[in-house]
Amino acid sequence: MDIKHNNSEKGQAIVFLVLGFVVFLGFVALAIDGGMVLSDRRHEQNAADASSLAGGAVAALHISDNRSNSCNQQWTCDNNSIIQAAEAQAIQEAKNRADANSYTIDNNIGDHNGVDFSCGGDSWNFATITVTVEISATTPSNFLQLVFPTAMHNTVDASTRIDPGGPLQFGNAIVALNPANCTGQLGVSFHGTGDINIIGGGIFSNGCVRADGTAHVNGDPNWPISGSDVDYDPGKDDISPPPTEVTYQYPAYTYDIDPPDCPSDPGAWYTDKTLPNNLSAGLYCINGDLTFKKGPFIGDGVTFFLQDGGVTINGNEEVRLYAPPHDPDPSPAIPGILFFLPPTNHSTVKLNGTSQVTITGVIFAPGSKIVVTGTDNVTSFESTQFIGWDVEVGGTSDTNIVYDGCDGYIFPPYIELYK
């Protein structure tokens, strides 16, 4: 059989080979250029993350180093020289870290090559700092830019959030975490016939703030008295400044403190019968209730941990107890905390203040009722903070609660890369 070849069919194989070769080269170029784009983007993102974290870390360190000048204040974004200085250091450090990774950024993220330092309030109008870094760059290519002119340009960003930290429960001397409204003795309640003077801190309740008609409450004029439900009659209740209702409550993470490291063997824990009268500085883990009787009890730099028992100081015995300082590190005791009852402990803390009783530090009992009474002419609790489920203050004598945030428990600044 004769096969006829038309001249028009000659060279077709070469054409297909050339087209196939061009397509093959295109896929190779696409793979190479695409890989370069992804690799560069990873490098740019890592640089932005490192720059943002570096700026945030410097800001947090600056705030921590100046804690002694600021630990007892509510952090705000306005007119705060410490935060302003932290901003300048954070921006410069972010620039330096970006430069170390071969990227140049300025103070303006509008051009997508910059760093921004912002400070904004949270639900309680306290400062939260954010350091944001944006980096953009173009990846040189051999083929892809002919098809997609803008595909070779990457823009990445990273944001680090800094919480300045500060005193436990935001500088309030008395905090009740019970969210219930004013039914019965719930939340923060005041009673008795003496003056109750709060100095150096505020009063806050997740639920009720109330006083009976005979209580005289003198709050610090520089700090609010507030709660989500206020039972206050200006005609009969003597509370100054007048309490105000708020729409927020303190969530659990605002008082999330790790418990101390107690011995695993409960037999190694103390009881109120085995507790020595002269207490060396350190941690005392208590099995059962702790009632201070057959005193005196003297202890400087001590923390008491009660897993399930309550505390009673009846005022008939001499009791002089002082929480540990921050420096040097008192571990396993907790700086600033005198009594630690975990949230699962619902036993009552009863403190009857007399001339024989001196206590300083945080009474941390977020699941318990704290009852503070005074029966001498003047009862003073110096550098003391009360944090309980309910807090009741009263008695027949004048009671002074003096709070200093620098002496209590202080949350350190912390940072997180969240974007």
Taking 3-state DSSP, the helix, strand and coil percentages for the chain, each rounded to the nearest 5, stand at 25, 35, 40
Average pLDDT over residues 124-147: 74
Determine the pLDDT at residue 147.
Answer: 58
More confident of the two residues 86 and 303? 303
Q: For the purposes of burial, counting CB atoms within 10 Å of the CB of 375, is it exposed (0-12), middle (13-18) or buried (19 or more)?
A: middle
**SS in 3 state form for 43-89?**
HHHHHHHHHHHHHHHHHHHHHHHCHHHHCCCCCCCCCCHHHHHHHHH
Cα–Cα dist 47/135, whole Å: 8
**At 320, phi and psi to the nearest 5?**
-125, 100
What's 31's DSSP letter? H
Q: Is the pLDDT assigned to residue 26 strictly greater than 70?
A: no
Residue 84 φ then ψ, to 5°: -65, -40
The whole-number average pLDDT for the span 353-370 is 93
Model confidence pLDDT, tens digit, residues 231-271: 888 777 889 999 999 998 998 988 999 999 999 887 789 99
pTM of the model: 0.80
Query: Which pairs from 110-118 meet CB under 8 Å and 24+ separation?
Result: 112/136, 112/155, 115/51, 115/52, 115/55, 115/90, 115/91, 117/55, 117/59, 117/87, 117/90, 117/91
The residues that bridge with 358 in the sheet, in sequence order, are 320
Residue 128: is its pLDDT beyond 90?
A: no
Please list, in sequence order, all residues whose beta carbon lies within 8 angstroms of the beta carbon of residue 187, skipping any fewer than 6 positions away.
Answer: 176, 178, 180, 205, 206, 207, 208, 209, 210, 227, 229, 390, 391
Structure tokens belonging to residue 382: 């110096």
Q: Look at residue 400 and tell me whether its pLDDT is greater than 60.
A: yes
Q: Is a pLDDT exceeding 70 seen at residue 18?
A: no
Within 8 A by CB and 6+ apart from 93, the residues are 54, 55, 57, 58
Cβ atoms of residues 138 and 130 within 8 Å:
no
pLDDT tens for each residue of 310-354: 999 988 889 999 999 988 999 999 999 999 999 999 999 999 988
Task: Please give the pLDDT value at position 70.
Answer: 57
Q: Report whether the peptide linkage leading into residue 260 is cis, meaning its omega lies within 30 degrees of zero.
A: no
Short-list 319, 314, 365, CA closest to 339: 365
Q: Residue range 72-79: average pLDDT?
A: 61
pLDDT band at 11 (very low <50, low <70, confident <90, very high): low
pLDDT at 64: 78
**232, 324, 39, 11: which is closest to 154 by C-alpha?**
39
- For residue 146, name the pLDDT band (cuts at 50, 70, 90): low
Q: What would the mean pLDDT of 98-115 be, rounded to a whole number?
A: 92
> Does the pLDDT value for residue 365 go beyond 80?
yes
Q: Does residue 120 surpass a pLDDT of 70?
A: yes
CA 56 – CA 61 distance, rounded (Å): 9
- The strands making up 195-199's β-sheet, listed across from edge to edge, are 238-240, 216-218, 195-199, 398-402, 378-381
